[in-house]
């Protein structure tokens, strides 16, 4: 049965058109899958880079901060606790 269908697809014009359309559909699907994976990887890297930048900026702000208690360690702990609640 499969051989009969394969020979019909190879011989008839409609069969060749169907086979060509399926080949194009498969090619487009594979291309879109590749692009999707590439985009997801790029977005994941961008999110990680942004997280690192935000962390560095937060550390700089904490190092430069003074909330008025006079004790830099207290200031740092207060800012750390405040930053964790805000997320």
CA distance 41 to 37: 6
Q: Is the pTM of this model over 0.85?
A: no
50-59 own/partner pairs: CB under 8 Å, 24+ apart: 58/83
For residue range 1-26, what is the model confidence (pLDDT) as tens digits?
677 777 877 788 888 888 889 999 99
Domain ranges of the chain: 2-86
Q: Report d(CA 36, CA 53) in Å as an integer.
A: 26
- Hey, what are 51's tokens? 């997280």
């Amino acid at each position: 049965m499969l051989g009969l269908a394969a020979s019909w697809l190879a011989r008839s014009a409609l069969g060749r058109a169907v086979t060509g359309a399926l080949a194009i559909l498969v090619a487009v699907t594979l291309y879109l899958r590749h692009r999707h994976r590439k985009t997801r990887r790029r977005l994941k890297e961008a999110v990680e880079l942004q997280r690192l930048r935000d962390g560095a900026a937060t550390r700089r702000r904490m190092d430069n901060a003074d909330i008025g208690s006079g004790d830099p360690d207290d200031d740092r702990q207060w800012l750390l606790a405040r930053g964790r609640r805000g997320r």
